Amino acid sequence: MNSEFDDIRPYAPEELPQVFDELLADATFLQVVQQVMPQLTPAVLRMQLQQCHTNLDVQKMFFYPLVQHIIQTCTKGLDLQLPEGFDRQQPHTFITNHRDIVLDSAFLSYLLVANGFPTTVEIAIGDNLLIYPWIKKLVRINKSFIVQRSLPPRQAFAASMVMSRYMHHAIGQKHENIWIAQREGRAKDSNDRTQDAILKMMAMGGEGTVLQRLKALHIVPMALSYEFDPCDYLKAKEFQQKRDVEGFKKSQKDDLQNMQTGIFGTKGRIHFAAAPCIDPWLDTLDPAMPKTELFPMVAQHIDHEIHRNYRLYPGNYVAADLLQGCDARAHAGHYTAADAEAFGSYIDSRLALIDLPNADEAFLRERILTMYANPVFNHEAALAL
């Protein structure tokens, strides 16, 4: 493999034994393992790791059962919808809306294995989340490649170029799937929009025209629909902090709390829906189209595919009506009185969790309602086109 990828790529199989030894010597890592998987003593962990010869082996040995446990204890079911005739053997780049820091990609990998795909996904993950050395090692074992953020402009451009070349290498030479969010960070208000910058980065690598470079990644837009977002109250809290404190930024402690809450919080029903690969649609575009028009058009197409494939739950419709006023009943056909009462109680319980000394309840309520309502508005707009 090209050495230019060494700082960002997942570990290669031959590197795994050394990394396993480093993790097993890390007291903090072992403590976390004991908390999450108490049945795994260090001796058993070492024995099981020695049976793993590839990253996929590790995923199937440890991560797949862990995700299965999270599905059983923290959700009311998880399913995947694929277009008819979807090619499971062709590596794809899955571009999704982004709800949960850890579980979006973890659930997707689980679903691919459960639905007969030959492999999982390589995961684009921001280096801001790699707070401890053991986390960085663990995610690279788990087929993650590192997105380097907060760099000066010239270095950021060079890092984007390397990452793009790596993505093309992963799809074209390694025959791996890729997961990448449609934007940097989660859309805190669930108004999911693909950033042009993500597509521009993806088109830096590869060969040929911009359209040919995008086609080489075999992009599949995918909609992720969580009935409940365990981090909804944390996102609302962050909205007020950003409103009230100039230059507010989350701390490492905040990131850890968001990761932990997202993983172990209640999520209700979860639906993943893949749209068709956009390669045939890209073929309909004019190769001479200026980039200033092309990237926004591709982003708009991905957004439309994600929005039309949302699965909406009663709470989404209740939120849409509550947001539009006390007497709004535009979506009443999608929920019962009991649904409305239950969702209202849910919102009250989330607001009670927000630990701000100057909590602006009206603002915070509006922010949480907006998170649940925006998928309804975007879905309706997509279907109207």
What's the chain's average pLDDT? Answer: 96
Per-residue confidence (pLDDT) for residue 328, from 0 to 100 = 82
Tokens encoding 60:
């199937």
CA nearest neighbour of 219 among 146, 295, 289: 295
Q: Is 143 left (phi over 0), alpha (psi -120 to 50) or beta?
A: left
- Cβ burial of 81 (10 Å; 0-12, 13-18, 19+) is middle
Q: Where are the alpha helices (DSSP H) in the chain?
A: 16-24, 27-36, 42-50, 55-58, 64-74, 103-114, 133-141, 153-172, 196-202, 210-215, 232-244, 252-264, 279-282, 291-308, 314-323, 337-351, 361-384
Could you give the CA distance from residue 174 to residue 313 in angstroms, rounded to a whole number?
Answer: 38
Could you give the CA distance from residue 80 to residue 114 in angstroms, rounded to a whole number?
Answer: 9
Q: CA torsion angle for 343, 75, 129, 347 (degrees, to 10)?
A: 10
* Structure confidence by residue, pLDDT tens digits, 155-199: 999 999 999 999 999 999 999 999 999 999 999 999 999 999 999
How does DSSP assign 31-59, residue by residue? Answer: HHHHHH-TT--HHHHHHHHHT--SHHHHI
* Structure confidence by residue, pLDDT tens digits, 17-70: 999 999 999 999 999 999 989 989 999 999 999 999 999 999 999 999 999 999
Q: Which amino acid, residue 266?
A: T
Which ranges of the chain have pLDDT less than 50? Answer: none
Q: Which domains does the chain have, with CATH numbers?
A: 3-228+267-308 (3.40.1130), 231-248+258-264+312-385 (no CATH)
